[in-house]
Amino acid sequence: MQLSPTLRSALLASWLLPASGAFAEIADDLRARDSVGARADVAVQGHANGGDDVDLGASERRERFAAAKKRSDGGSREATLWCIQNFPVRDGGPVNPANPVNPVNPVNPTGELAIEARTALQALHLRWIELHADAPAAERDAFLVRLRTRSAELLGRERADELYLELDRRATDDELRARILLARARLRDARRVQDMRRRAEARELYAALRLHYASSAAARAAREDQWYLENLSVGAKVPDFVTHDGAGNEIRLSDYRGQVVVVRFWNSFSDADEARLEHEQQLVERLWDERFSMIGVHVGTPRGLLRRGLQRRQVTWTQAAEPAGGGAAARGWRIRHYPSTFVIAADGVLRGLDLEGRALDALADGLLAELRNQTAEREAQLAAMPPGGSQDALRQRNRDREKH
């Protein structure tokens, strides 16, 4: 397939990588085949001269490019996807607080990816879309996932959605069209934000997927996504669950109503989980005199081994033990990945998903501050009322509110 001179130029400019090893090789190959002119050459060489701080020289990458070069158009497609997946973003720059979706900025101090880099990355996506027809299912899925995750962070959701629409326009099979609808719905990330417009858009896309491609695997995944959207999205009142700790004692989530609760589903003692346990133990100890609780639901480790592991690590907060594949809590909440963390306000409404570290601390502290303010307001209302029936009625209403 022939590319326009403008797109070819943008593609060569997109190799904003150190011109050493594999990247010099592929850039030289593009120059030789495309003769795209000085502007693209300057873009490649200019970034090469200032890009020594980016570690991209692994022999595995060099071999990947070398192998892709020996192939025909299919190899070009593979190399293009590889570069999309490894697009260079230097760490250490500022983040734009007005747009937390944007990544750490490699180029300028505003927190936005530089215009040239955005153009280059978009051109890489367009090139893969032009070449996608013969891509195997696994490669298509990799592209769809990358576009709605890291590429959406770098390009913005609107531009990512436009690229999905371009791919849909060129798609020739229903399975790919169905997966594009699913990816576009997931791009809205509607579970994590209380944005009614984004949720409405996601629901419309899920409905279209079920209507037009009802028998597809994507439609089945959409039904699962919609359950999460209605039951375990930020702003939704979470469903109750009942599980048991290692000694067989019942743990019922609704018993914690009136407190800020963090529920974490986990399944290993990996180094990352060890670090999370240590941090969460510190959080529990810091908030021991607050209306705060943590519930861990560990899946897969036999109860005796889990109990000894927790004792050895001096973990004191409530831990449920469920079998491999999940017990009542993990199955009831349809947990798909571990760890999964849910931050629940005192009224039972989900306020945060998959937070850890400072972000988890900040949300817990904020919800506890809200709870203290609500308590102070109620006490002030009581103090302003004459004693007797009215005051007793207000106390009862406040108790009922805390329960429900």
Instruction: Tell me, yes or no, whether 261 and 378 share the same domain.
Output: no
User: Do 150 and 279 fall within a single domain?
Assistant: no
Say if residue 75's pLDDT is above 70.
no
Residue 131 in any domain: the answer is: yes
Q: How far is the C-alpha of 243 from the C-alpha of 235, rounded, in Å? A: 24
Give me the residues paired with residue 194 across strands: none
Shared domain check, 252 and 147: no
pLDDT of the residue at 79: 74
Instruction: Quote the pLDDT of residue 378.
Output: 80
Who's near 394: CB < 8 A, 6+ residues apart? Answer: 378, 381, 382, 385
Average pLDDT in the chain: 77
Domain boundary among 131, 154, 172: 172
Region of residue 214 (phi > 0: left; psi between -120 and 50: alpha; otherwise: beta): alpha
Confidence class for position 326, pLDDT limits 50, 70, 90: confident
Using the 3D structure, point to which of 145, 172, 199 is the last residue of a domain: 172
Query: Does residue 251 contact residue 294 with C-beta atoms inside 8 Å?
Result: no
Do 117 and 14 belong to one domain?
Answer: yes
Tell me: the pLDDT tens digits for 124-169? 899 899 999 989 999 999 999 999 998 998 899 999 999 999 999 9
Q: Is the peptide bond before 339 cis (omega within 30 degrees of 0)?
A: yes
Do 311 and 377 belong to one domain? no
Helices (H), 241-385: 271-286, 303-312, 328-332, 357-384
Instruction: Please indicate, yes or no, if residue 78 is contained in any of the structural domains.
Output: yes
Whether residue 390 has pLDDT greater than 70: no
199 is a domain residue: no
CB 161 within 8 A of CB 147: no
Name residues whose C-beta falls within 8 Å of residue 115's C-beta, 6 or more positions apart in sequence: none
Q: Do 330 and 379 belong together in one domain? A: no
How many CA atoms does the CB half-sphere of 168 hold within 13 Å?
Answer: 14
361 vs 112, residue with greater confidence: 361
Question: Quick check: helix, strand or coil at residue 339?
Answer: coil
17 and 81 share a domain? yes
How many structural domains is the chain composed of? 3
d(CA 401, CA 385): 19
CATH of the domain at 301: 3.40.30.10
pTM exceeds 0.85: no
| pLDDT tens digits along 41-66 | 223 232 333 333 333 344 555 455 44
202 within some domain: no
Q: Coil, helix or strand for 90?
A: coil
Percent of the chain with pLDDT over 70: 70
Asked if 49 and 56 touch (Cβ cutoff 8 Å), the reply is no
Residue 310, both tokens: 């927790």
Q: What is d(CA 231, CA 245) in angstroms, rounded to the nearest whole number? A: 24
For residue 261, being part of any structural domain is answered with yes
DSSP string, 302-314: -HHHHHHHHHHTT
What is the rounded distance in angstroms from the CA atom of residue 249 to the CA atom of residue 228?
28
The pLDDT score that the predictor gives to residue 383 is 74
Residues 262 and 320 in one domain: yes
Check whether residue 302 and residue 339 sit in a common domain: yes
- 198, part of any domain: no
Residue 348 and residue 381 in one domain: no
Looking at the fold, whether 78 and 167 belong to one and the same domain comes out as: yes
Q: pLDDT tens, 161-205?
A: 999 999 999 999 999 999 999 999 999 988 988 889 999 999 999
Nearest C-alpha neighbor of 347 from the set 274, 244, 286, 260: 260
Cα end-to-end span (Å), the chain = 62
Residue-wise pLDDT for 270-280, tens only, equals 999 999 999 99
Which pLDDT tens digit goes with each residue over 393-404? 655 666 666 555
DSSP character for 388? T
Q: Domain range holding 152?
A: 5-172
3-state secondary structure of 320: strand
